Amino acid sequence: MAKPASVRRYSKHDAGAKPMNHHFTARDGARIHYKDWGCGQPVVFSHGWPLNADSWESQMLFLSSQGYRTIAHDRRGHGQSSQTWDGNDMDTYADDLASLLEVLDLHNVVLVGFSTGGGEVVRYIGRHGIRRVAKLVLVGAVPPLMLRTESNPDGVPLEVFDGLRKGEIDNRAQLYRDIASGPFFGFNRPGAVPSQALIDRFCEQGLQASHRSTHECIAAFSATDFSADLQQVTVPTLLVHGDDDQIVPIATSARLAVKALRSATLKVYEGAPHGLTDTHKDRLNADLLAFIAS
């Protein structure tokens, strides 16, 4: 039988003294690292591939300064979490997220997922329900399904993801550099001014993750069908997506997901790339605050 997650609960009386970085032990023994900043209503972030919790720092700093408790974990195999051989799939990611919410005994949570993390938070609701969840935010998120199939003819061809897998095997450092210096931040668009600092930051986070985990995660974010999970989402939902997203095209993701959700609003950022948590962080932060406070 799988071990229960190790529990460390903080009360409102010691919330201000809690460590800013911590970890918990997942049900299978994996060590999951997380950041826990500020106090107030909890906002829990799930990151994209191949990044980690550091990718949410701009949003966490802003919202914690506005009176919210912000929490972001490193997905297993990423950042400072255990580099597990197994468990690199959406069900396990969702169960790790469930353990995080249980460990910290969080309620009235706003879940925020970017890209792969958008799939993670939706699958969490599909597997664990909305008992702890007040609202949901999907940013450049992968649901309902990225991969082109017979039932999803407008999806991304399998060859694209096979190319990512080949790039991972051949030279993943170069793969991450190519993604960051090109489509992720839109630096391949005419007139764009690349930020070497953002490119380096993306690559550093990617190379912190294990080779096995980043390779396996490609299948997790591309081939998982979240259609049934979206049907279980009954809380107010905000979708934010760039209409120049070259990684997760808006037409096959947010524009379909918003139709499947019961109470959802889609905000389209004109000309924004996939990495809008950095390139459009001020606008995103304002939209997050307005939605959470509403």
| Backbone φ and ψ of 203, nearest 5° | -65, -40
Q: Considering the domain boundaries, does residue 12 fall inside one?
A: no
> For residues 88 and 76, is the Cβ–Cβ distance under 8 A?
yes
pLDDT of residue 13: 37
Residue 46 is assigned to a structural domain of this protein: yes
Task: For residue 76, name the pLDDT band (cuts at 50, 70, 90).
Answer: very high
Which tens digit of pLDDT belongs to each residue from 231-286?
Answer: 999 999 999 999 999 999 999 999 999 999 999 999 999 999 999 999 999 999 99
Percent of the chain with pLDDT over 70: 93
Which pLDDT tens digit goes with each residue over 13-62? 344 456 566 999 998 999 999 999 999 999 999 999 999 999 999 999 99
Residue 4 lies in a domain: no
**274 phi/psi in degrees, rounded to 5:** -65, -45
Q: pLDDT averaged over the chain? A: 94
Residue 196 resides in a domain: yes
How far is Cα 61 from Cα 38, in angstroms, rounded to an integer?
9
Q: According to the model, what pLDDT value does residue 3 have?
A: 45
From the list 41, 2, 233, 262, the residue with the least C-alpha distance to 119 is: 233
Specify the pLDDT at position 12: 42
Catalytic residue among 74, 245, 278, 287: 245
- Tell me the pLDDT band of 226, cut-offs 50, 70 and 90: very high
pLDDT in tens, 156-188: 999 999 999 999 999 999 999 999 999 999 999
pLDDT at 68 over 50: yes
Domain that holds residue 120: 22-293
Residue 76 inside a domain? The answer is yes
Q: Is residue 13 part of a domain?
A: no
Order the strands of the 237-242 sheet from edge to edge. 21-25, 31-37, 69-73, 42-46, 109-114, 133-139, 237-242, 264-269
Please state, for a pLDDT cut of 90, what percent of the chain lies above it: 93
The yes-or-no verdict on residue 83 having pLDDT over 50 is: yes
Q: Is 95 a catalytic residue?
A: no
pLDDT 10s digits, 181-212: 999 999 999 999 999 999 999 999 999 999 99
Mean pLDDT of 96-106: 97
Asked if residue 135 lies in contact with residue 237, where contact means CB atoms within 8 angstroms, the answer is: yes
Indicate if 213 belongs to the active site. no
**Of 115, 210, 213, 222, catalytic:** 115
Domain count, the chain: 1
**What is the model's pTM?**
0.93
Residue 45 belongs to a domain: yes
Among the listed residues 80, 132, 71, the one whose alpha carbon sits nearest the alpha carbon of residue 105 = 132
Is 140 part of any domain? Answer: yes
| Known catalytic membership, residue 274 | yes
* Both structure tokens of 38: 């500020």
Specify the pLDDT at position 19. 59
Q: Any idea what the CATH number is for the domain that residue 151 is in? A: 3.40.50.1820
Residue 33, C-beta contacts closer than 8 angstroms, at least 6 positions apart: 21, 22, 23, 53, 73, 74, 79, 80, 81
| Sequence-distant (≥ 6) Cβ neighbours of residue 248 within 8 angstroms | 115, 140, 141, 142, 146, 241, 274
Whole-Å CA distances, 24 to 57, 90, 104, 198, 212: 20, 19, 10, 29, 22
